[in-house]
């Protein structure tokens, strides 16, 4: 890696940002906040998707033929349920989604968080609606997702509570501030997530111009701070703990190690509703 020259002032600003940054409301109730490496329980509906994002979290899981079967993965008394971790849940139709929310509400006293790409979104009764948007304009959206739905998703943000953006250095880092302005205008939270890199994704991202040299904590925090983004609670917890015994400048430019196997749900399948 070439020598990076950054000012001491900026390092101190980003260190202070780590102290003051908030986590997204979606992280409330997640074991990740306590340092337990588990996401919220989830209800999976489908492995299908109507986009083909170059950074898709499920890319290697799908290639390995290991997409989870539909149903609830979690404990009997969840605080929040994410719908869903894989595939695009709105593909089953808004009517079925609403039926699922109502069945889950009858069974559990839990917050319902919908995670969607927003293309087919309409008004829904989920408690939190997270819409993925990692581009600030039509052209970039098309390059990232393979589809020309930017304007449609922008319009559907009226039904959202959180804009979820994946940080892609070299690809969308110059657009994150503009996405932050879009979220601010609509009074939505912006959640900025580092990209999860699993087998096979590295090559795909490289072809799209991903800058692995800038896949650092410094670059991520720089974008998060400039765009007024919220930082995943589990990440904040880990970085704050490390900073108790390491200097910020010693960890700011370390490269992450990539996952060696496809992401999988670390909770047991319990049941599936007949929707």
Find the binder of ligand SF4 among 118, 194, 233, 262 (CB under 6 A).
Answer: 233
Cβ proximity to ligand SF4: between 11 and 242 the closer is 242
Cβ proximity to ligand SF4: between 111 and 214 the closer is 111
Q: Does 74 bind ligand SF4 (CB under 6 A)?
A: no
Find the binder of ligand SF4 among 27, 54, 190, 205 (CB under 6 A).
Answer: 27
Cβ proximity to ligand SF4: between 128 and 154 the closer is 128
Give counts: helices (H), strands (E), the chain: 10, 8
Beta strands 162-167; 128-132: pairing state: parallel
Cβ proximity to ligand SF4: between 169 and 194 the closer is 194
Q: How far apart are CA 87 and CA 67, in angstroms?
A: 9
Find the binder of ligand SF4 among 234, 239, 252, 265 (CB under 6 A).
Answer: 234
CB of 258 to ligand SF4, least distance (A): 18
Contact 251, 238 (CB under 8 A): no
How many of the other CB atoms lie within 10 Å of CB of 208?
15
CB of 188 to ligand SF4, least distance (A): 17
Cβ proximity to ligand SF4: between 22 and 158 the closer is 22
Which SS3 state, helix, strand or coil, does residue 256 take?
coil
Find the binder of ligand SF4 among 14, 21, 26, 85 (CB under 6 A).
Answer: 26
Q: How far apart are CA 31 and CA 37, in angstroms?
A: 7
Q: Does 70 bind ligand SF4 (CB under 6 A)?
A: no
Which H or E element spans position 46?
A: none
- 29 strand-pairing partners: none
Q: How many residues line the site for ligand SF4 (CB under 6 A)?
A: 10
| Residue whose C-beta lies closest to ligand SF4 | 32
Q: Tell me, what DSSP letter sits at residue 26?
A: G
Cβ proximity to ligand SF4: between 27 and 97 the closer is 27
User: Which span (64-72, 100-108, 230-238, 255-263) binds ligand SF4, by CB under 6 A?
Assistant: 230-238
Q: How far apart are CA 147 and CA 144, in angstroms?
A: 8
CA nearest to 44, candidates 74, 77, 75:
74
ω into 5 cis (within 30 of 0): no
Give the binding site for ligand SF4 (CB under 6 A). Answer: 26-27, 30, 32-33, 39-40, 232-234
């Amino acid at each position: 890696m070439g020598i990076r020259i950054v000012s001491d002032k900026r390092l101190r600003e980003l260190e202070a940002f780590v102290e003051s940054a908030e986590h997204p409301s979606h992280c409330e109730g997640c074991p990740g906040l306590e340092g337990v490496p588990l996401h919220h329980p989830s209800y999976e509906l489908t492995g299908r998707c109507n986009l083909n994002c170059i950074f898709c979290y499920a890319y290697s899981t799908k290639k390995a033929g290991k997409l989870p079967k539909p149903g609830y993965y979690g404990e009997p008394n969840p605080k929040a349920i994410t719908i869903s971790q894989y595939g695009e849940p709105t593909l089953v139709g808004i009517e079925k989604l609403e039926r699922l929310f109502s069945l889950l509400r009858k069974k559990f006293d839990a917050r319902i968080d919908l995670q969607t790409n927003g293309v087919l979104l309409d008004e829904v009764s989920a408690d939190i609606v997270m819409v993925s948007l990692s581009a600030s304009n039509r052209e970039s959206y098309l390059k990232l997702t393979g589809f020309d739905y930017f304007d449609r998703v922008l319009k559907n943000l009226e039904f959202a509570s959180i804009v979820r953006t994946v940080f892609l250095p070299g690809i969308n880092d110059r657009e994150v501030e503009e996405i932050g302005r879009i979220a601010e205008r609509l009074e939505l939270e912006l959640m900025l997530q580092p990209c999860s890199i699993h087998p096979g994704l590295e090559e795909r991202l490289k072809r799209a111009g991903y800058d692995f040299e800038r896949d650092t904590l410094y670059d991520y925090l720089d974008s998060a701070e400039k765009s007024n983004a919220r930082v995943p609670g589990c990440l904040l917890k880990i970085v704050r703990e490390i900073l108790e015994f390491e200097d910020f400048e010693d960890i700011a430019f370390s490269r992450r190690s990539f996952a060696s196997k496809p992401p999988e749900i670390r909770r047991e399948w319990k049941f599936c509703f007949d929707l």
